[in-house]
Amino acid sequence: MPDASAQPTTDADRAIPGPLAGYTTLRTGGPAERIVAAGSADELVHAVRAAAEPVLILAGGSNVVIGDAGFPGTVVLVRSRGMRVIAEDATSVTVRVDAGEPWDDLVAATVANGWAGLECLSGIPGSTGATPIQNVGAYGQEVAETITGVEVYDRVEGTRQVIPAAECGFAYRGSIFKYMDRWVVLSVDFRLARSPLSGPVRYAELARALGVEVGEQVPLADARAVVLRLRAGKGMVLDATDPDTRSVGSFFTNPVLDRATYEQLLERSAELGDPPAWPGADGLVKVSAAWLIDKAGFAKGHPGEGGVAISSKHTLALTNRSGTAHTSDLLTLARTISDQVHARFGVTLHPEPVLINCTL
Ligand X SMILES: Cc1cc2nc3c(=O)[nH]c(=O)nc-3n(C[C@H](O)[C@H](O)[C@H](O)COP(=O)(O)OP(=O)(O)OC[C@H]3O[C@@H](n4cnc5c(N)ncnc54)[C@H](O)[C@@H]3O)c2cc1C
| Residues annotated as catalytic (active site), given as ranges | 173, 250, 352
Give the contacts of 342 (CB within 8 A, at least 6 positions apart): 348, 349
Least spacing, CB of residue 82 vs ligand X, in Å: 14
Least spacing, CB of residue 57 vs ligand X, in Å: 4
Instruction: Name the residue among 3, 2, 25 with its Cα closest to residue 236.
Output: 25
Least spacing, CB of residue 241 vs ligand X, in Å: 14
Closest residue to ligand X, based on beta-carbon distance: 126
Question: Residues interacting with ligand X, by CB under 6 A?
Answer: 25, 56-64, 78, 99, 124-127, 129-131, 133-134, 136-138, 184-185, 236, 238, 245, 247-249, 354
Q: Which long-range contacts (CB under 8 A, 24 or more apart) does 47-56 make?
A: 47/10, 47/74, 47/76, 48/76, 48/153, 48/155, 48/184, 49/158, 50/10, 51/76, 55/181, 56/32, 56/181, 56/356
* Inter-CA distances, 331 with 67, 189, 236, 355, Å: 10, 35, 20, 10
Least spacing, CB of residue 238 vs ligand X, in Å: 6
For ligand X, the closer CB: 65 or 265: 65
For ligand X, the closer CB: 125 or 304: 125
For ligand X, the closer CB: 33 or 88: 33
* Inter-CA distances, 274 with 263, 269, 295, 308, Å: 11, 7, 11, 30
For ligand X, the closer CB: 187 or 338: 187
For ligand X, the closer CB: 265 or 356: 356
Least spacing, CB of residue 356 vs ligand X, in Å: 7
Instruction: Name the residue among 160, 154, 201 with its Cα closest to residue 180.
Output: 154
